[in-house]
A and B are shown apart, each in its own frame.
Chain A
Amino acid sequence: APEPAAQDVSLGLDWLTRYGYLPPPDPAQAQLRSPEKLRDAIKVMQRFAGLPETGLLDPVTMATMHKPRCSLPDVLGVAELVRRRRRRR
């Protein structure tokens, strides 16, 4: 499969983080995301959206990421808990 464009990877990372599929980056450390972790996150997103689980930022996946949607994350994990705690504070 052709490598996705850098812009798509950047948008994909941002989208996957915003909607809870990837943990938010830790500001205290420069953290690289492994290709395996990214592939797993894409697969979970694809399963959630009812797409074929390729683990790749393929055109169907990118198109889904551009669809209008609700702002809340799909995976309510650490990011949402941190956000809620901050809000409460």
Chain B
Amino acid sequence: YALSGSIWKKRTLTWRIHSFPRSSALSQETVRTLMHHALAAWGIESGLKFREVGSQGPPEADILIDFVRAYHQDSYPFDGQGGTLAHAFFPGEHPISGDTHFDDEEIWTFGSKDGEGTDLFAVAVHEFGHALGLGHSSAPDSIMRPFYQGPVGEPTKYRLSQDDREGLQQLYGKGPQTPYDKPTMKPLAPPPPPPALPPGSPSLPVPDRCDGNFDAIANIRGETFFFKGPWFWRLQPSGQLVSPQPARLHRFWEGLPPQVTVIQAAYTPHRDGRILLFSGPQFWVFRDRQLEGDARPLAELGLPRGEQVDAAFSWPLNGKTYLVRGHRYWRYDEAAARPDPGYPRDLSLWEGAPPSPDDVAVSNDGATYFFKGAHYWRFPKGSVKADPDSPQPMGPQWLDCPAPSAGPRYPRPPKATLKPEPCNCHCEINQ
């Protein structure tokens, strides 16, 4: 499932049908009943309550339902029969938030066979998912798949798929126990055992993300990945965690050898679709989620044989890759596919950066972040000097966690310029 990043702050939502289909075989009463059941499908799983308000009710229902044609004063004009069918607006404070629009030029049906018009109940369940804060899902059995999939059966018996329930409950919690939760008969066969865990995996419970101390942190296609042991969390560009529960490394990164249970660093080369994961003196290259080729030695990137890395990142300013170990770093030229000469250099060039960072990542706005323990140091876009208020606790900013009670184990960066030391350096343009 995918979350839009916004939710309703109240648990009882009002709804009203503002306009009915103009030329549908469905009566107004049938449309009302279908809308009621479509909302109830979400309500029963979350405990959310939906209250219909009539024309005598408050002028602004939270979910205002309209059947409209063509351009109707929002950013999603309809296109006649077929094509786009409906849309809804995510929760929020704006008057249009939660409103749900159906294309009045569709042939809306109920109880017909697939292919004979478009099932209004199925589309309404989908759209109300958006109105409650869910985005589109790619899960095969999800009602939140973006494509119309035909009727979904009897509205009074309809139940959301597990993917949809989990998405909803991530936003609003679980509702009171429903008849669905109580087994009516013994299962015919025991459920299949869970898939085997990779060797060396810790047993439950899963690690606490609020502890910090991640093995690796990387910006991968706009999302920030936080790796810890054989687990990882994902933070969407909107700043929302995909889930507070971590995902398993080996379920996602297809082909990662089972013996690799810790990712020490990760990054994506600038303007490149590849994803590099580092563990020990080796790294693995992924295309999307699939492993490409065998493990490769870090020596390929210019590090001494047997060396490991604490952090790796691609700096957008020059497109080069930086590999950090302890208080030193190496630089790799992706364009020339060779290590830059004259490295390693001292990490103190990054003024205020902690030694042996857990990892370094570049955010979507171009700032560079060094992470260590439960804190981060921010370097503004193009700068090698940390923000004066660094370090800051990671939890509130990144992981939906409270600030840690203890301060960083490393001193705050000096605010004054460091004592000048003799150096053998030369300036290059843009550096």
Query: A19 to B74, alpha carbons, bound, how many Å?
Result: 16
Is there a chain A Cβ closer than 8 Å to B146's Cβ?
Answer: yes
Q: A50-B140, A70-B126, A71-B76 are in contact. Are A43 and B94 (CB under 8 A)?
A: no
* Cβ–Cβ < 8 Å partners of A73 in chain B: 136
Q: Which residue of B lies closest to A48 (CB)?
A: B138
Is there a chain B Cβ closer than 8 Å to A60's Cβ?
Answer: no
| Interface size class of chain B, counting residues whose CB lies under 8 Å from the partner chain | 20 to 34
Q: Are A68 and B148 in contact (CB under 8 A)?
A: yes
Q: Are B222 and A71 in contact (CB under 8 A)?
A: no
Q: Are A87 and B96 in contact (CB under 8 A)?
A: yes
Question: Measuring CB to CB, which residues of chain A are less than 8 angstroms from any residue of chain B?
Answer: 19, 36, 40, 43, 47-50, 53, 64, 67-74, 76-77, 81, 83-84, 86-88
Q: Are B147 and A49 in contact (CB under 8 A)?
A: yes
- The list of the 6 closest CB pairs from A to B, nearest first, reads A71-B87, A71-B76, A71-B84, A68-B148, A74-B136, A48-B138
Q: Are B146 and A19 in contact (CB under 8 A)?
A: yes
Q: Which residue of A lies closest to B5 (CB)?
A: A76
Q: Which residue of B lies closest to A74 (CB)?
A: B136
Query: A72 to B86, alpha carbons, bound, how many Å?
Result: 8
Residues from 62 to 91 in B contacting A, C-beta threshold 8 Å: 74-76, 78, 82-88, 90
Q: A49-B138, A70-B136, A72-B130 are in contact. Are A40 and B85 (CB under 8 A)?
A: no
Q: How far is the CB of B285 from chain A (nearest CB, A)?
A: 16
Q: Are B83 and A68 in contact (CB under 8 A)?
A: yes
* Cβ–Cβ < 8 Å partners of B222 in chain A: 77
Query: A73 to B45, alpha carbons, bound, how many Å?
Result: 25
Q: Are B147 and A68 in contact (CB under 8 A)?
A: yes
Q: Are B5 and A67 in contact (CB under 8 A)?
A: no
Q: Are A72 and B146 in contact (CB under 8 A)?
A: yes
> Known pairs A71-B86, A74-B146. 6 more at Cβ < 8 A?
A68-B118, A68-B148, A69-B85, A71-B84, A74-B136, A76-B5
* Cβ–Cβ < 8 Å partners of A77 in chain B: 222, 237
Q: How far is the CB of B289 from chain A (nearest CB, A)?
A: 9
Q: Are B118 and A83 in contact (CB under 8 A)?
A: no
Q: Are B88 and A72 in contact (CB under 8 A)?
A: yes
Q: Are B148 and A76 in contact (CB under 8 A)?
A: no
Query: A50 to B138, alpha carbons, bound, how many Å?
Result: 7
* Cβ–Cβ < 8 Å partners of B83 in chain A: 68-69
Q: How far is the CB of B78 from chain A (nearest CB, A)?
A: 8
